[in-house]
Amino acid sequence: MPTTPANAGVVRYLVFSGSLREGSLNTRLARLAAGVIEAHGGQVDTAAMSDFDAPSFDQDAQTESGLPAGALEFQRRLEVTDAVVIASPEYNASMPGVLKNAIDWVSRVRPQPFNERHCLLMSASPSMVGGNRGLWALRVPLEHLGSRVYPDMFSLAQAHLALDDGGQIASDSLRDRFEAVIVNFMSLAEASKHYPCMKSAWIEFLGERPDPALDAAAIPASAQVAGR
């Protein structure tokens, strides 16, 4: 009989910022997202964009040497995660080149690691649009590669003012919205991983013993958002 890893029921999230900058607003937002995920029972792997940095994609270089170290690291960490959260800066109404470059490198891997992976996008910017246009650009390659990009996104406008000295989102209503988007995304990622209906059907028809570690829907009541 196959054995079940102890953490098989836990949903794993790769969380990273698309900025290389020291003191990045998006890195601060990514850290806040990681905290919310952990507070609601998710397992977080926090990465830095520098972990995935790679030379500009060159198909000749790929043919000669394969993927560079940063791309291999991105691939490795994608393959062991269930879902991805990216906080990305907006550069000239689009995504940072370093992030697109990393995606392009990893897209060469087969099986292609973005395929069917759930993804939540967020952004922070000093501007009034909060970097939101860049997220629409970022959706394009991710969806093209088969990622399940969550419909809701979160963009923090005037982020240099919106984050307080403690690094938290100062406005109660914005903080509630931020947490709700993440928790709702977690519900989807969790359901996708465990398929609660299928699981109960298996228990019913195959006589499996219920296992609370695997029977999904293990989201604490505090994490459930009314109306979703």
Name the site residues for ligand FNR (rule: CB under 6 A): 19, 21, 24-26, 89-93, 125-127, 129, 131
Report how far Cα 116 is from the mean position of its chain's Cα atoms: 13
| Shortest distance, position 157 Cβ to ligand FNR, whole Å | 8
| Shortest distance, position 89 Cβ to ligand FNR, whole Å | 3
| Shortest distance, position 134 Cβ to ligand FNR, whole Å | 7
Give the separation between CA 10 and CA 82, rounded to whole angstroms.
9
Left, alpha or beta for 183 (phi > 0: left; psi -120 to 50: alpha)? Answer: alpha
The secondary element (H helix, E strand) that includes residue 205 is: helix 196-206
Measured from the CB atom, is 95 or 186 closer to ligand FNR? 95
Measured from the CB atom, is 75 or 125 closer to ligand FNR? 125
Strands annotated E in the chain: 12-17, 43-47, 83-87, 118-124, 148-149, 154-156
* Strand, helix or coil for residue 18: coil
DSSP type of residue 111:
S
User: CA angle, corner 93, sides to 55 and 72, nearest 5?
Assistant: 25
- The strand pairing partners of 2, in sequence order, are none
Measured from the CB atom, is 43 or 92 closer to ligand FNR? 92
| Shortest distance, position 92 Cβ to ligand FNR, whole Å | 5
Measured from the CB atom, is 112 or 158 closer to ligand FNR? 158
Measured from the CB atom, is 113 or 134 closer to ligand FNR? 134
Measured from the CB atom, is 127 or 200 closer to ligand FNR? 127
Give the separation between CA 197 and CA 215, rounded to whole angstroms.
10
| Shortest distance, position 36 Cβ to ligand FNR, whole Å | 18
| Shortest distance, position 81 Cβ to ligand FNR, whole Å | 22
